[in-house]
């Protein structure tokens, strides 16, 4: 214990004395959190629409005004010619084209099926899906109004409306910030933890102090615990700042227990720091450590479910994800914060992380060689 105390004292002194690293550790994550939470959103606010109206009837104008009135759409231009519309689409100035053929209004008046053509730029497939869904919902709404109007005006014409009612559980307004923020928080804690730990032991190799350490009676586990605890504390601190920002700046309700989040974070950070220390003991220069850490980081993050749902990954990808600690923590922290899940709800994932942490730390201690 005394030995670990002396190692901790040294590590903390070194961390707080490194003037160029302090802002990286304590300020950058906060900036990243604020920037990423607002920037990494799927919410469609500015869909640019080009309308080709060859009909010019009151009905087409009414539907266009519905788009104009929606906060999600900006009607860039209304024209007769499809050619101009396609030019704009090629220049990437509009995201979708809406085409009313001549006779649209007459068909509506005759209560016959009338058609609207929707052309969507689908280079970004997921965005295209969203444009399409938003456009359809506007048209759908217009349809319902039309039907209701016709029913009142005309006699019973046999139209029976089946209306879908939705209820979005846990995030009723379908906001992206409550969904993205917990994930981005995980990301920041991971980046700091993995990189700091991966660079640490190898740095002592580079400056030559590791040899002096190895000739002392320090035990391997004491040395690695002494290296691990400071980063655990930093990780906890950043998580705390992130949760405070979430609660008071972004106003995201944290439904579950903060203690449970910390318990999971503890097990999770042990895993991440274990991976970092393992990288550090296996490399000879900070540069090598950096590249290997980055390699794992990219895979962990891209497959974590932060940006794309893990359920839609191919089967082999989902299986590979059993080894991805980031995926577990993002899943758990979303469950706790948004659903208010309790210990039993996350016990399985927490258990897996626990096994992961113990194994990776075991390997790290084992692979750290005091003797060459």
Partner 1 sequence: MNSDKKVISVRNLTKKFGSFTANDDLSFDVYQGEIFGFLGANGAGKTTAMKILCGLSYPTSGEIMVAGLDVYKQREELKRNIGYMSQKFSLYEDLTVFENIRFYAGIYGMSLKDIKLKSDDLLKKLDLVHARNKRIGELPLGWKQKLAFSVAIFHNPEIVFLDEPTGGVDPVTRRQFWDLIYEASRNGITVFVTTHYMDEAEYCNRVSIMVDGRIEALDTPEGLKNKFDAKDMDEVFLRLARKSNYKE
CB atoms within 10 A of CB 113: 7
217 binding partner 1? (CB under 8 A): yes
> Which 14-53 residues touch partner 1, going by CB under 8 A?
14, 17-18
Q: Least distance to partner 1 from the beta carbon of 28, Å? A: 21
Contact characters 244-263, partner 1, x per CB under 8 A: --------------------
Distance between CA 41 and CA 36 in Å, rounded?
9
> Closer to partner 1 at the Cβ: 76 or 370?
370
Binding segment toward partner 1, per CB under 8 A, in 205-213, 245-253, 256-264, 326-334: 205-213
- Tokens coding 191: 């980046």
- Tokens coding 255: 């439904």
218 binding partner 1? (CB under 8 A): yes
Contact characters 261-300, partner 1, x per CB under 8 A: ----------------------------------------
Q: Are 337 and 252 in contact (CB under 8 A)?
A: yes
> Closer to partner 1 at the Cβ: 60 or 283?
283
The one-character DSSP state at 317 is H
> Which 91-130 residues touch partner 1, going by CB under 8 A?
none
> Closer to partner 1 at the Cβ: 29 or 226?
226
- Tokens coding 251: 């106003």
The owner of tokens 């497959």 is 303
**26 contact partners, CB below 8 Å, separation of at least 6:** 237, 238
Distance between CA 18 and CA 216 in Å, rounded?
25
For residue 170, the Cα-to-chain-centroid distance in whole angstroms is 17
Q: Least distance to partner 1 from the beta carbon of 37, Å? A: 35
160 binding partner 1? (CB under 8 A): no
> Closer to partner 1 at the Cβ: 17 or 91?
17
Distance between CA 345 and CA 341 in Å, rounded?
6
> Closer to partner 1 at the Cβ: 66 or 203?
203
Select from 46, 167, 212, 312 the one that contacts partner 1 (CB under 8 A): 212
> Closer to partner 1 at the Cβ: 153 or 371?
371
What's the Cα-to-Cα distance from 347 to each of 69, 134, 171, 235, 327, rounded to whole Å? Answer: 47, 38, 23, 22, 15
209 binding partner 1? (CB under 8 A): yes
Q: Maximum CA pair distance of the chain?
A: 97
90 binding partner 1? (CB under 8 A): no
Q: Are 286 and 203 in contact (CB under 8 A)?
A: yes
Binding stretches for partner 1 (CB under 8 A): 2-3, 5-7, 9-10, 13-14, 17-18, 207-209, 211-212, 214-219, 370-372
């Amino acid at each position: 214990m005394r030995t670990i105390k002396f190692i901790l004292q040294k590590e903390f002194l070194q961390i707080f004395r490194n003037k160029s690293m302090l802002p990286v550790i304590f300020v950058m994550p906060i900036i990243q959190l604020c920037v990423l939470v607002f920037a990494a959103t799927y919410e469609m606010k500015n869909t640019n629409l080009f309308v080709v109206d060859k009909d010019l009837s009151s009905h087409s104008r009414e539907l266009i005004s519905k788009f104009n009135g929606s906060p999600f759409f900006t009607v860039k231009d209304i024209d007769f010619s499809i050619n101009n519309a396609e030019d704009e689409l090629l220049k990437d100035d509009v995201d979708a084209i809406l085409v009313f053929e001549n006779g649209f209004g007459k068909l509506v008046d005759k209560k016959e099926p009338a058609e609207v053509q929707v052309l969507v730029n689908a280079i970004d497939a997921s965005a295209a899906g969203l444009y399409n869904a938003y456009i359809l919902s506007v048209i759908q709404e217009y349809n319902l109004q039309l039907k209701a109007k016709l029913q009142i005006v005309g006699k019973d014409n046999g139209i029976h409306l089946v209306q879908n009612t939705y209820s979005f559980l846990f995030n009723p307004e379908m906001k992206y910030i409550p969904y993205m923020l917990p994930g981005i928080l995980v990301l920041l804690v991971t980046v700091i933890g993995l990189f700091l730990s991966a660079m640490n032991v190898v740095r002592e190799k580079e400056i030559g102090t590791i040899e002096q350490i190895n000739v002392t009676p320090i035990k391997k586990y004491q040395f690695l615990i002494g290296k691990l605890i400071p980063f655990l504390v930093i990780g906890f601190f950043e998580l705390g700042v992130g949760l405070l920002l979430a609660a008071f700046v972004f106003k995201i309700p944290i439904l579950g227990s903060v203690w449970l989040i910390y318990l999971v974070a503890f097990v999770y950070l042990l895993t991440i720091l274990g991976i970092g220390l393992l990288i550090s003991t296996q490399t000879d220069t900070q540069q090598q450590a950096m590249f290997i850490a980055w390699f794992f980081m990219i895979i962990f993050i891209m497959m974590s479910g932060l940006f794309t749902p893990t359920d839609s990954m191919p089967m082999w990808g989902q299986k590979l994800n059993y080894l991805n600690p980031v995926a577990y923590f993002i899943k758990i922290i979303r469950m706790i914060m948004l659903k208010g899940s309790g210990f039993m709800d996350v016990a399985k994932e927490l258990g897996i992380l626990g096994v992961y942490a113990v194994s990776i730390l075991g390997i790290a201690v084992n692979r750290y060689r005091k003797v060459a």
